[in-house]
Amino acid sequence: MYNQGWVIPDTHINWTHYIFYGADIRIQRLSYIRDQLKTLTKEIIHTEDWATDYLTGIFHADHEDGTESYIWKLSEGEFYEEKITRCSQHE
């Protein structure tokens, strides 16, 4: 079910190819999307003798109540995660 959130255009404009993930996800399944991104981090898009290009990107995941967010970055074959915690708006 969660795989249906991926949007990958059939055609691309210019040299950058964008993909998007948009879906409501239960917090218990957030690791499923995180693991997919970790796998994509290792995806090689171009290689030559002196350089290897990997997928790069940034993804934001926000909790519906605004108390926490995640920023996931894919860069140079590595996966980075930053968790941002905020005080509840009801306090």
- Domain range for 78: 49-91
Q: Examine residue 5 and state whether it is found in any structural domain, yes or no.
A: no
Q: Maximum Cα–Cα distance for the chain, whole Å?
A: 57
Q: Domain total for the chain?
A: 1
Q: Helix (H, G, I), strand (E, B), or coil: what is residue 86?
A: coil
- Is residue 59 situated within a structural domain? yes
Written as six digits, the tokens of 77 are 């074959």
pTM for the whole structure: 0.79
pLDDT tens column, 9-66: 998 888 888 888 999 888 888 899 999 999 999 888 888 888 888 889 999 998 888 8
Taking CA atoms, 9 is separated from 6, 18, 35, 60, in Å, by 10, 8, 22, 20
Please indicate, yes or no, if residue 70 is contained in any of the structural domains.
yes
The pair of structure tokens assigned to 48 is 């030559």
Residue 74 within a domain = yes
User: Using an 8 Å Cβ cutoff, are 76 and 55 in contact?
Assistant: no
